Amino acid sequence: MRILGVDPGSRITGFGLVEVRQGRLYYVASGCIRTQEKEFPLRLKVIFEELAGVIRQYRPELMAIEQVFVKNNVSSALKLGQARGAAICAGVTEGLAVSEYAPTQVKQAVVGNGRATKAQVQHMVTALLQLSGQPQEDAADALAIALCHGHGLRMSSARGVVK
């Protein structure tokens, strides 16, 4: 079972793929979609098209994405929501079921602390997937989202629950 994790952003969208085999999680690929366009609708188009290309290339069965949270800037949250929508549309258009996770839920699953820092998430993703180097921040966050979903699948499987 291959899982695509997505950390949406209007300028940088991270993606990470893991595979669940025999109850273990393995690294497949990760990277960042960088939008250089000034016009916001064109950035959304890039996110949609590039992510659809990643899906066609790596053929995941599932997609997990981070939920939007509003910290201080409502305008930024709205843009993030739109970038997230473009990513979700790419997944659904390519036939993937999409699951959503709160940032604290992802950090809790990967680091054991819902308030973990980005550096702690990078460190744990590197350790859990036995990577030779640390992935870029957005790619690490996307891998953490995929790991969170994969962990949930493993736990359901261990209990005999079919998702």
Domain residue spans of the chain = 2-159
- 7 is a catalytic site residue: yes
Kindly name the residue from 39, 49, 50, 66 that is annotated as catalytic.
Answer: 66
Whole-number pLDDT of residue 156 = 56
Question: How confident is the model over 48-105, as pLDDT tens digits?
Answer: 999 999 999 999 999 999 998 767 788 888 999 999 999 999 999 999 999 999 999 9
Residue 157 has pLDDT above 90, yes or no: no
DSSP annotation of 81 reads: H
Location of structure tokens 């820092």: 117
Sign of CA dihedral 140, 56, 3, 41: positive
Catalytic, out of 19, 50, 138, 141: 138
Distance separating alpha carbons of residues 10 and 78, to the nearest angstrom: 10
pLDDT tens, 90-149?
Answer: 999 999 999 999 999 999 999 999 999 999 999 999 999 999 999 999 999 999 999 999
> Pick the catalytic residue: 7, 19, 50, 141?
7
**Residue 141 falls in the annotated catalytic set:** no
pLDDT of residue 128: 96
Q: Could you tell me the CA-to-CA distances from 38 to 72, 80, 111 in Å, in that order?
A: 23, 15, 36
pLDDT of residue 152: 79
Domain 2-159 fold is: Nucleotidyltransferase; domain 5 (3.30.420)
Helix axes 118-128, 103-111, angle to 10 degrees: 50
Which amino acid does the sequence have at 110?
Answer: V
pTM of the model: 0.92
- pLDDT at residue 155, rounded to an integer: 57
